[in-house]
Amino acid sequence: MTSSEHIVKQNYQINASAREKSMKQKGIVLWFTGLSGSGKSTLADEVETHLHKNGKHTFLLDGDNLRHGLNSDLGFSDEDRKENIRRVAHIGNLMADSGLIVLSAFVSPFRTDREEARQIIGQARFVEIFVDCPLNICESRDVKGLYSKARKGLIDNFTGISSPFQEPENPMIRVETNKMDLKNCTKKIISFISQNYV
């Protein structure tokens, strides 16, 4: 018998709908997925900046930043990556419950992990954004020098080199950062969420 069997969920008077009504927006999670160097964090930052300037309440969850705190105990094995995404999904879900527009920028290379995130957050407010960019372009950028280290065998289980990236099969939004500039990628995302959520 696990301890969770003795836990009963508590319900309160103020729920997600009440918070959304108060904030005059819908709580959603924009899930940016793609290879390292594809432009996820840069794009998420630009989208958040646009939303913030237009009076929307937002919060950006970034993979590297969370690994300096909440997820600092996790490595990069398949199991740790799965747990990393599970934790982030629960955080995103709580924040969306508060009425925030959450921007989540994580490589999240495995379809099963992204599907679990979708289940945790809920289909109605999970927006999968595939930041699509060929490996060779991402590697040529190598902003953090990670690909170089991975090629030298200094980083294990590095996505795109020694660990696979499973592309989304049916992302709600797909932006090709090797063909579109930051402004147009941002415009495409803002247009989609404005028509469907905000």
Residues that are catalytic: 108
Residue with tokens 């590697």: 139
| 136 φ/ψ sector (left φ>0, alpha ψ -120 to 50, else beta) | alpha
| Closest to 33 (Cα-Cα) out of 25, 23, 47, 43 | 43
Separation CA 198–CA 191 (nearest Å): 10
Task: Label residue 22 exposed, middle or buried (CB < 10 Å: 0-12, 13-18, 19+).
Answer: exposed
- Encoding tokens for residue 32? 């940016």
